[in-house]
Amino acid sequence: MTDTMKAMVVERLGPPDVMELRDVPVPTPGPGEVRIEVEAVGINFADVLAVAGEYLTRTKVPYTPGMEFAGIVESLGDGVTGVQVGQRVAALGGSGALARYSVVNAAGLIPVPQSLSGAQAAAFPVSYFTAYHGLKTLGRGVAGEWVLVQAAAGALGTASIQLAKALDMKVIAMASTEEKLSIARDLGADVTLLQDDEERVQKVRDAAGGQGVPLILEVVGGKRFQESLDMAAGQGRIIVIGNASREQANLRPVELMKRNLSVTGLWLTSLMSDRAATAEAAQILSQLVGSGQVTPQVGPTYALADSARAFQDILNRKTTGKVIIEPQR
């Protein structure tokens, strides 16, 4: 083991190219922590926002981005039990994964079926737990019900389609290109629609039996949020998960009254502290992944030195599935 390693470092917030490849000390696991040789980092829209300083929480610099990853446990800090050196794990830390090694609290480790590759394991936690909470915990979706999935070919979108179909729900998928819609159809989406289709509001309402959609996973925000209100069925549930447009949305609560709509926010980070909800999601997801009913969708894969390009490709809407960075190459 050498003393230094390659890592991406952010010293000032801004566009993706503020990230720099540096040599930094290999971190040492403290009590309760493990050091992991990082195989694959799943890049989320949240990582892009964090580097830009536009995330829900303040980004403190300097820092190494990367909140979701998978790798092989390489050494254990004092007092760690239940984890073996050599085991493949996925992990959710706040940051620090865009590096050859990363240290996380053992409590943040997520056991993954050993059938998953490192890249598949890194594509799993954020998107699938979020999709589960959107569809079930907060969305209260039931078999046979329609759900609208936006940005359907993205990391969360592909997870949401797969999971909704595994739960016997019916999916309307929206995305910006025909190629993306074809990915959604391959995953089982029942109806697909271009995001810029001029008649999209009416078409979505018609697709869901003319009454509108009972459940919407809203990730675009801005003026699209208003459209979600128009697409929703009476008593519809709109789960606000993201704001990829980075535009502000207007909500006049009185508009919700007319059709008894509800709008619920979802942030995975804070939901993780709900032990019962997390345990339920973990149990169902590991069963579905283990049986092959859902498979994390690995998207384009980049070397560590190309991290800025990976982030920029997400911003430019060029990617599908989960963008992966492999720090060992």
**Closest approach of ligand NDP to the CB of residue 77, in Å:** 28
**Closest approach of ligand NDP to the CB of residue 82, in Å:** 27
Among 267, 272, 282, 312, binds ligand NDP (CB under 6 A): 267
Regarding 184 and contact with ligand NDP (CB under 6 A), the answer is no
> b/e per residue, 92-114, with b = 16+ CB within 10 A?
bbbbbbbbbbbbbbbebbbebee
Residue number with CB closer to ligand NDP (137 or 243)? 243
Phi-psi label, residue 246: left if phi above 0, alpha if psi -120 to 50, beta otherwise: left
Which string of x and - marks every residue 17-56 that binds ligand NDP (by CB under 6 A)?
A: ---------------------------xxx----------
Residue number with CB closer to ligand NDP (208 or 244)? 244
Site for ligand NDP in 114-133 (CB under 6 A): 126-127, 130
Site for ligand NDP in 58-117 (CB under 6 A): none
**Closest approach of ligand NDP to the CB of residue 154, in Å:** 2
**Closest approach of ligand NDP to the CB of residue 96, in Å:** 18
**Closest approach of ligand NDP to the CB of residue 288, in Å:** 18
Kindly indicate which of the ranges 18-26, 61-69, 266-274, 277-285 contains the residues binding ligand NDP, using the contact rule CB under 6 A: 266-274
**Closest approach of ligand NDP to the CB of residue 91, in Å:** 16
Which string of x and - marks every residue 130-169 that binds ligand NDP (by CB under 6 A)?
A: x--------------------x-xxxxx------------
Which string of x and - marks every residue 224-263 that binds ligand NDP (by CB under 6 A)?
A: -----------------xxxxx------------------
**Closest approach of ligand NDP to the CB of residue 45, in Å:** 4
CA distance 43 to 274: 24
The answer to whether 147 and 124 have CB atoms below 8 angstroms apart is no
**Which residues of the shown chain bind ligand NDP in the complex (CB under 6 A)?**
44-46, 126-127, 130, 151, 153-157, 175-176, 180, 195, 219-220, 241-245, 266-268, 314-315, 317, 319
